[in-house]
Amino acid sequence: MWANAKSWSRTTAHRSIKGIIAAGIALAVLWARSPAGAAQQPALSAEDQATVDTIEGYLNDLTTVHGRFIQSNADGSYIEGDFFLERPGRMRFEYDDPVPFLLVADGSDFIYVDRKLEQVTYLPLSQTPAYFLLRDEFSFADGLRLTDFRHEAGLYRLQIMQEDEPDAGSITLTFTDRPLSLRQWTVVDAQGAATRVTLVQPQFGVPLQRDLFRFVNPWRGKQRD
């Protein structure tokens, strides 16, 4: 059974929001801190390298994704919601009540909405980790480093870090192998707390309304799109 959503705390909610930002989805505000140079590129067999290349192509071929997500937090709590993703540049994560947060990437900005506090924060999308998955072209050779690759129990797990951040930790993306499909990502924060996002029955390549990725600020009456 999932934990009762009404038991959420503001600390848990903020941790969850950061976990969601990780991926797009996506997609890592909570990059774990590790000693510089600690993570190295793994030695891959020719077969494994071919699989990594296939996964890179899969991510580039992603157009739209829609479904439910379950957020598992380090304190054992769970919260759920709906997600929408349209590459390049757009995504939306809506938490179920009573969690008051909304995340929207509208193609240029990453927008964090706290309905309870009536606060809206805009960040340039290109300067957020969400851009890792939402950019036009995904490439492990473009600012990313694959630090671990595993194939076990019908799943591929790829641990990835930012090439130009020697003190940065990693995000782990999990895919089913048959068929190849993104299913989960896990981020560990600086205190070692893991946040896991699992996609539930995601639908790929479905039409999505563009209005999902627009946000009208009801407290200022200003639209950003």
Within-domain flag for 60: yes
Tell me how many domains the chain contains: 1
Q: How many CB atoms lie within 10 A of CB 221?
A: 7
Lowest mean pLDDT among 88-92, 160-164, 195-199, 212-216: 160-164
**Which of 11-25, 43-57, 158-172, 202-216 is predicted least confidently?**
11-25
Residue 220 lies in a domain: no
According to the model, what pLDDT value does residue 26 have? 37
Instruction: Specify if 223 maps to a domain.
Output: no
Digit-coded pLDDT (tens) for 60-110 = 999 999 999 998 887 888 889 999 999 999 999 999 999 898 999 999 999
**What distance lies between CA 108 and its chain's CA centroid?**
17
Question: Do residues 169 and 31 make contact, with C-beta atoms less than 8 angstroms apart?
Answer: yes
Residue-level pLDDT at 188:
61
In a domain, 15, yes or no: yes
The number of helix segments (H) and strand segments (E) in the chain equals: 3, 13
Tokens representing 220 are 């200022």
Q: Are 160 and 175 in contact (CB under 8 A)?
A: no
pLDDT at 132: 72
% of the chain surpassing 70 pLDDT = 73
Helix (H) or strand (E) holding 53: helix 46-61
In a domain, 49, yes or no: yes
- pLDDT exceeds 90 at position 138: no
Contacts by 181-185 with C-beta closer than 8 Å and gap 24+?
Answer: 182/25, 182/58, 182/59, 182/62, 182/65, 183/155, 185/22, 185/23, 185/25, 185/26, 185/27
pLDDT tens digits along 14-36: 555 555 444 333 343 333 333 33
Of 96-105, 136-145, 157-166, which gets the smallest average pLDDT?
157-166
Q: Which of 20-29, 125-134, 155-164 has the lowest mean pLDDT?
A: 20-29
- For residue 67, tell me if it sits in a domain: yes
Q: Note whether residue 213 is domain-resident.
A: no
Q: Is the pLDDT of residue 223 over 60?
A: no
Cα 22 to the chain's mean position, in Å?
A: 4
Model confidence at 156: pLDDT above 60: yes
In a domain, 214, yes or no: no
Distance CA 120, CA 110 (A): 10
- For residue 4, name the pLDDT band (cuts at 50, 70, 90): very low
Is there a cis peptide before residue 88, judged by omega within 30 degrees of 0? Answer: yes
CATH number, domain containing residue 113: 2.50.20.10
Domain range for 190: 5-206
Whole-angstrom Cα distance, residue 74 to residue 12?
9
- pLDDT given for residue 53 in this prediction: 93
The contacts of residue 42 (CB under 8 Å, 6+ apart) are 146, 147, 148, 149
Query: Mean pLDDT throughout 123-143?
Result: 79
pLDDT of residue 131: 77
Please report the pLDDT score of residue 189 as a whole number.
59
